[in-house]
Amino acid sequence: MAGARLSEFNLDDDSVAPHVAVKEAVFPFARFANVDTILGPEMRSTGEVMGLDSSFERAFAKSQLGAGVKLPDSGQVFLSVRDTDKPAALAVARRLIDLGFSILATRGTATRLREAGLAVKVVNKVLEGRPHCVDAIRSGDVQLVINTASGAQSVADSFDIRRSALTNAIPHYTTIAGARAAAHAIAALRGGTLEVAPLQAYFRGSF
């Protein structure tokens, strides 16, 4: 884009900024009824925000706040992930349990977590009958939603989960990478408050 090769730039270690920047897209899903919040290849954001701090975890927390997402510091997490994400979901669930959260999961996910020795409550999928996971979300029993889907039918079946989380202002993540970042950000927030500094301070490294 700059019209030159990377090798022509002086990119030595001294030029590395002492801070991390995380950009987050802002989506208008709440303004439109029955719009699915799962992301696709098309760009549907109405803006973006940036979180700046000394670590990725704190910068990610700031980006979420800037996008209107308030990460919980306690409560229950609903977890339902596709089979390929179950191994990675173990570490996320264990991290959240270590932070004092309880885990509510659908049967397939709960079985995998229990096999790893984690304490999990089981809840029905919507198609399995009430009371189900959407009931738990709407009743205020869930403070964080982690739900990954694979395939058209799975995406369609989990629409009510995503939409209910949105309408009840519950943070929800549809990728394991996002869920992992959220768990680390919650841990970072436990370590202290977030500070604000002018951009010039980050440029000078004096924040």
Q: Above 60 in pLDDT, residue 29?
A: no
Tell which residue, 44, 58, 38, has the closest CA to residue 194: 58
Between 33 and 206, the more confident residue is 206
Cα 110 to Cα 86, 89, 97, 126, 196: the distances in Å are 10, 11, 14, 16, 40
Domain residue extents for the chain:
15-190
Rounded Cα distance, 126 and 19, in Å:
43
**pLDDT range class, residue 104, cuts 50, 70, 90:** very high
Cβ(41)–Cβ(7) below 8 Å = no
Hey, which residues does 24 pair with through a beta bridge? 49
Q: Above 90 in pLDDT, residue 188?
A: yes
Rounded Cα distance, 206 and 199, in Å:
10
Rounded Cα distance, 143 and 155, in Å:
21
Rounded Cα distance, 127 and 121, in Å:
18
| pLDDT score recorded for residue 163 | 85
Please tell me whether the peptide bond between 87 and the residue prior to it is cis, using omega within 30 degrees of 0: no
Instruction: Give the model confidence (pLDDT) of 131-171 as tens digits.
Output: 999 999 999 999 999 999 866 555 556 788 988 888 899 99
Between 144 and 36, the more confident residue is 144
Rounded Cα distance, 179 and 109, in Å:
15
Question: What is the pTM assigned to this prediction?
Answer: 0.81
Identify the CATH assignment for 15-190 out of 3.40.50.1380, 3.40.50.2300, 3.30.43.10, 3.40.50.300. 3.40.50.1380
User: 3-class SS at 172?
Assistant: strand
| pLDDT score recorded for residue 26 | 80
Q: Above 60 in pLDDT, residue 174?
A: yes
The gap between the terminal CA atoms of the chain, to the nearest Å, is 30
**pLDDT range class, residue 202, cuts 50, 70, 90:** confident
Cα 108 to Cα 79, 150, 155: the distances in Å are 10, 14, 16
